[in-house]
Amino acid sequence: MPKAKLLFFCQNCGFESTKWMGQCPGCKEWNTFAEEPQAAVPKKTAAGSVRKDAPHPKTLSEIEVSQTARMTTGMGELDRVLGGGIVQGSLVLVGGDPGIGKSTLLLQVCRNLSAAGKKVLYISGEESLQQIRLRAERMGTFTDLLLILCETSLETIREAIARIQPEVVIIDSIQTMYNENVSSAPGSVSQVRESTGVLMQIAKGMNITIFIVGHVTKEGVVAGPRVLEHMVDTVLYFEGDRYASYRILRGVKNRFGSTNEIGVFEMRGSGLAEVTNPSEYMLEGKPEGASGSIVACTMEGTRPVLLEVQALVCQSNLAFPRRTAAGTDLNRANLLMAVLEKRAGLRLSSCDAYINIAGGIRMNEPALDLGIALAIASSMRDMPIDEKTIAFGEIGLSGEVRSVTMAEQRVREAKKLGFTTVILPAGCKKQASRVEGIELIPVKNVREAIQAIL
């Protein structure tokens, strides 16, 4: 009898090895290897042999498309990220930090779907029925089409789904589920992978949409949903600041739509509320007549978001001046300060500088460059910028202001929110001039931009 072989898998990245190792050669993480039995080797068959029950490949026109219409979740922001609604039979992974609101979001989806007459099954492996009831009571009224099950065994879950025949199933979370056929602990790479495989068969075989919640830990010690991302149809990440109440839902992968859309929500006592106009939300509480502040415009997918860029520049007493950037890339901010010093003659090398994107949101689009540069210049000279002015444009190393995409949409958004002046790259002027009733100031370099408004 050949001895059953043991294999070791990295719990972080799934690297496979025949012996235990302290450090994973794949992802360089320490102490992540765990022992798992080897999968059975399939029997060899002769190359020319044909099984009787082998499936026949079909031509595209032979394939019947049953229902292409999408189901709406009742939340416009979520529909947008999903590419226009839920596709029947798809597998959607929702990842995010602990406590960000994944369970809340999906319970709300359950409420909306069940209110629209869809049969929904919510399976929780980490909360008791009472806890779910408490959360649901905060959110409002639910219909009897929503069924709740507290279970972690996949076999029981499969049976429950087959019996109840729901249209949508929520699994909260994949790390708590276990498959009896796999010996390793729940949450390990092989359990998570096998469990997702089973759920995928259920989704595709029974044409049921399944939402899976996945936990992400900072250390990546628990098998993160990275391994799953290849298996599922759609991957959404729910992110936000621990100290701010808004939450952003980002599509990372989508087999049925674009991935650069975001959904913005606000966490309230009664659950997540949609923020349909993020710009208004981001600009709330903007100071009037203060120097070092300007509104910039960045694109999130097809939607422009206006936000306030703040800068504080003051004389430094240190040999190495302090520079910090909150909400944007510090290296980029340093680069912009060097460009301002060299190309616009601002003496920044002896100054401390603090950059902040107000509202706690993180934005890294190059189109923010001009906003950041103007905020720094405004603070340096202690001259406020007209508060009805916005700026966007990428800045190059020789101080040139380069054009960015979708200038027209950005200008349109600025007009909608009552701004009167837009400072934009000269290359974007033609596109932006399709919007009427707003003053455009095209600039070729930073020096021109600073002269135009200060």
Ligand X SMILES: Nc1ncnc2c1ncn2[C@@H]1O[C@H](COP(=O)(O)OP(=O)(O)OP(=O)(O)O)[C@@H](O)[C@H]1O
Residues at the interface with ligand X (CB under 6 A): 96, 98-104, 138, 215, 267, 269
Phi and psi at 117, nearest 5°, equal 90, 15
d(CA 404, CA 447): 19
On whether the CB atoms of residues 112 and 74 are closer than 8 A, the answer is yes
356 binds, among ligand X, Mg ion, none (CB under 5 to 8 A by kind): none
Minimum CB–partner distance for residue 341 and ligand X (Å): 42
Give the residue at shortest CB distance from Mg ion.
103
Minimum CB–partner distance for residue 174 and ligand X (Å): 12
On whether the CB atoms of residues 318 and 326 are closer than 8 A, the answer is no
On whether the CB atoms of residues 356 and 429 are closer than 8 A, the answer is no
Minimum CB–partner distance for residue 39 and ligand X (Å): 31
Here the tokens at position 217 are 């830990």
Dihedral Cα 294, 298, 304, 306, nearest 10 deg: -20
Alpha carbon distance, N-terminus to C-terminus of the chain: 85
The candidate with the shortest Cα–Cα distance to 254, out of 112, 96, 104, 84, is 84
Smaller CB separation from Mg ion, 34 or 139: 139
Identify the residue among 11, 73, 90, 103 touching Mg ion (CB under 5 A): 103
99 binds, among Mg ion, ligand X, none (CB under 5 to 8 A by kind): ligand X
Smaller CB separation from ligand X, 215 or 343: 215
359 binds, among Mg ion, ligand X, none (CB under 5 to 8 A by kind): none
117 binds, among ligand X, Mg ion, none (CB under 5 to 8 A by kind): none
Sheet of strand 33-37: strand arrangement? 16-17, 6-10, 33-37
Minimum CB–partner distance for residue 128 and Mg ion (Å): 12
Smaller CB separation from ligand X, 22 or 98: 98
User: Binding to Mg ion (CB under 5 A): which residues in 333-362?
Assistant: none
Amino acid code (one letter) for 170:
I
Residue 61 is classified by DSSP as: G
96 binds, among Mg ion, ligand X, none (CB under 5 to 8 A by kind): ligand X
Minimum CB–partner distance for residue 214 and ligand X (Å): 10
Phi and psi at 387, nearest 5°, equal -75, -5
Minimum CB–partner distance for residue 166 and ligand X (Å): 20
Amino acid code (one letter) for 200:
M
Q: Does 191 bind Mg ion (CB under 5 A)?
A: no
Residue 102 is classified by DSSP as: H
Smaller CB separation from Mg ion, 103 or 328: 103
Minimum CB–partner distance for residue 98 and Mg ion (Å): 8
Smaller CB separation from ligand X, 114 or 378: 114
User: Binding to Mg ion (CB under 5 A): which residues in 212-231?
Assistant: none
Smaller CB separation from ligand X, 19 or 242: 242
On whether the CB atoms of residues 164 and 203 are closer than 8 A, the answer is no
On whether the CB atoms of residues 224 and 12 are closer than 8 A, the answer is yes
Interface residue list for Mg ion (CB under 5 A): 103
